[in-house]
Amino acid sequence: MHNPALQACGIEAQYVRVQVPVGQVKQAFALFAKQGFLGVNITIPHKFEALEVVDELDPLARQLGAVNTLAIRDGRLHGYNTDGPGFLRSVKEAFGAEVKDLSLLILGAAGGAGRAVAVQSVLSGCRHLVLANRTESKLAPLLTELAGLHDGSLAVKTCSLEPNNLAQMLPDVDIIVNATSVGMKADDAPLLPVGCLTKNHGVYDMVYRASGPTDLITQAIQAEARHADGMCLLLHQGAISFEHWFNRPAPLEAMRAGLMAAQG
């Protein structure tokens, strides 16, 4: 999506992939700056190491605990995180609502993506939050962290990923967010009990598969529920990265077209 964006804006640059060995992020960033790179997107497993080696750390990236976007300005390394802001923009596009007006259920909330969504949702003032995880006890550190981000008026509940527990939470939820890896494989077991979704729900599956919709998205379609997959998040994360690098609005439709073309 970035090369079509560069072309659309008439920017003489190219987006390329660079493989960096674990433990060499600092050296790689120094080389990028020396060679005139304007910015970098950072993927697993380098997001946490990147947090430690940038010169300037955006406050939101500090709160989210990882850096996935680097902007290089006058040789200095500026670190950002697009996970939370990308989530906000993609929810607005897919569901026509602001996170501050929603009740959310986050599946896999103790993981990196789930934690980022939970933190951003609380910072945005969501109405109600349910955190679900395979091992419910692993949510304790996140609960403590979230408690420091609001005034006590937000109700935060937890549960396991056991289907009956999830079914009990769904009547009070607007949007179900899948932040687990379940759905990447066609034979993954369903996350939600069959028939528990209604047309009043929204389903946001952060997983996306080129081979077709995940089981969760299929359930949403059958229930006539609004839905979006991880491509929507990827698009808006990319747009936010572009804005950090070039200090101008991203050509969103050119980027969307590039993603769609890559999907085939």
Domains of the chain: 2-82+232-259 (3.40.50.10860), 84-229 (3.40.50.720)
Section 192-220 average pLDDT:
91
26-61 pLDDT per residue, tens: 999 999 999 999 999 999 899 999 999 999 999 999
Known catalytic residues are 47
Residue 187 has pLDDT above 90, yes or no: no
**What pLDDT is recorded for position 151?**
85
Residue 109 binned pLDDT confidence (cut-offs 50, 70, 90): very high
The one-character DSSP state at 181 is S
Q: Which long-range contacts (CB under 8 A, 24 or more apart) does 61-66 make?
A: 63/119, 63/123, 63/149, 64/115, 64/116, 64/119, 64/120, 65/115, 65/116, 66/112, 66/116
Section 158-178 average pLDDT:
94
Positive or negative: CA dihedral 93, 94, 96, 98 = negative
Task: Indicate the pairing of strand 76-80 with strand 56-57.
Answer: parallel
Residue 104 has pLDDT above 90, yes or no: yes
